[in-house]
Amino acid sequence: MGMSKDRIKFNVGGRIFETTATTLANAGRDSFFGALFDDEWNLSPQDSIHFVDRNSDCFAVLLDLLRTGDLNVPANIPERLLHREASFYGLLDHVRTAKWGPFDGNRLRLSDSVKGIAPGDGTAIRAGPDGGCCVAHGSVVHVFDWMLEEHSPINLDYQRVNDVGWIDSDNIVLSACERLGRGEGGMGLFSSSSGDLRYKFQVCHENQVKSYTAGALSFSPDYEIFASCKGRSNEYGIGVWDQITGKQTDFFYESPGWSLGDADKLQWLNGKNCLLVATLFPRKDNCYISLLDFRDKNMVWSWSDIGSPMAIDEKRVRDAIAMEDSNSICVVNEFEDLGFIDLRMYGGSVRWSSRSKLMKSKMPDEPCYPKLALHEGQLFSSMNDSISVFCGPDWVLTSRLRRSYGGSICDFSIGGDRLFALHSEENVFDVWETPPCPII
């Protein structure tokens, strides 16, 4: 890249700054500073002082960030002011990168706790692709950007939200319960910034549009949306929609003696080109886990605890997640004991690994069922008011995240280099970040 070494001066709010083209080029072509260069990365014009009517203190911080890669914010500069100025210059990604490093569950530190205004327990929390999140409480979804500023909420007018997911940083999909006599329910695509409904996803059965209850959601890289569906007639199963057009493209109907429409969890598996569908206790008396291949409408693998001895409740599966690298499914019971099912064996048994027997005497009065997540080779499991991190081929417990305020964790989500944990007893969620590596 042939960059000019000429110096350049700025007058920012009456304060003079001098830097080089090399430093400004670190901001990238799409930034405010990138517009000062021609196609060959030479300054244009070269002999002038560029006046910018913005905050000079923030400009000094951002210029130092471009020089050193380090973010040093004086105490007299509010964080939101710096973020606003960084947005103007197109440097928000630079600020985010400097604020926290690549995600590592063993190095996470509590960054913030955000208290909401919605009463009652939360339904779900979902991390956004840009470091923000959304929280479902009853019929309302509260949306936060990466600066944790709340946008206009999404309100379904007393229609309970079952699940929520991000299409991208601008669009959110909600699944909701059907309201009898109203013909409402199903799924909708909403703006994350305004909360406006953009379109509804319909289910067609025998060439007729049906009202339905949508449950668990999942997304594929091919711009497909999957949702568990329950209708009044025969529309029990997994629906598929095109993310771009919003049109239904497929439907996998539930077979007798199995459970798909009541699924607690869906997970798309890129390597196998299949969808994991898990219906778990206590939604059903028994647990059903299956892999669906939509190319030929085939259930290629399944497991259930039907017929298994249930003398002790601790062996009930509370959550499940597929681990493609090891050809297995990880499950967890209410005491955070991990179990593994071999995907190479049809209907095999669970190989339980007891890790938390000492925690049985510490169960709270109203515990939340544990949840699982897999992120960049690390396994996460929530239990009461903490989240455990497991690593390595044998999934050894390596660290535990705990925050006492707010009670048990009812849900957590990882995305945008952050972990969000939603508490049940208080309407509060925690934000965990990995601190940046020291610059040597």
Tokens of 79: 């964080």
Tokens of 383: 């239990």
| pLDDT of amino acid 56 | 96
Q: Going residue by residue through the chain (440 aa), what tens digit of pLDDT does each one get?
A: 444 457 889 999 999 999 988 899 899 988 999 888 877 767 765 667 889 999 999 999 999 999 998 899 999 999 889 999 999 999 988 998 888 878 999 999 999 999 876 655 678 999 999 889 999 988 899 999 988 889 999 998 878 899 999 999 999 999 998 875 555 678 999 999 999 999 999 988 778 888 889 999 999 999 999 999 998 776 799 999 999 999 999 999 999 889 999 999 999 999 999 999 999 987 788 899 999 999 999 999 999 988 766 544 456 889 999 999 999 999 998 888 899 999 988 877 888 886 544 344 455 555 688 999 999 999 999 988 899 999 999 899 999 999 767 788 999 999 988 999 999 877 789 999 998 776 55
List own/partner pairs for 334-343 with CB under 8 A and 24 or more apart. 334/367, 334/369, 334/370, 335/359, 335/360, 335/383, 336/370, 336/381, 336/383, 336/388, 338/379, 338/381, 338/390, 338/395, 341/289, 341/303, 343/291, 343/301
| pLDDT of amino acid 40 | 72
Q: How far apart are CA 241 and CA 245, in angstroms?
A: 8
| pLDDT of amino acid 299 | 95
| pLDDT of amino acid 144 | 94
| pLDDT of amino acid 311 | 46
Nearest 5°: the CA angle 361, 386, 267 is 115
Nearest to 387 by CA among 405, 368, 400, 374: 400
Question: Biggest alpha carbon distance in the chain?
Answer: 83
Q: Supply the Cα-derived Rg of the chain in whole angstroms.
A: 25
| pLDDT of amino acid 438 | 65
| pLDDT of amino acid 97 | 83
The secondary structure of 249-276 as a DSSP string is: EEEEEPPTT---TT-SEEEEETTTTEEE
Q: 3-class SS at 147? A: coil
| pLDDT of amino acid 361 | 44
| pLDDT of amino acid 273 | 95
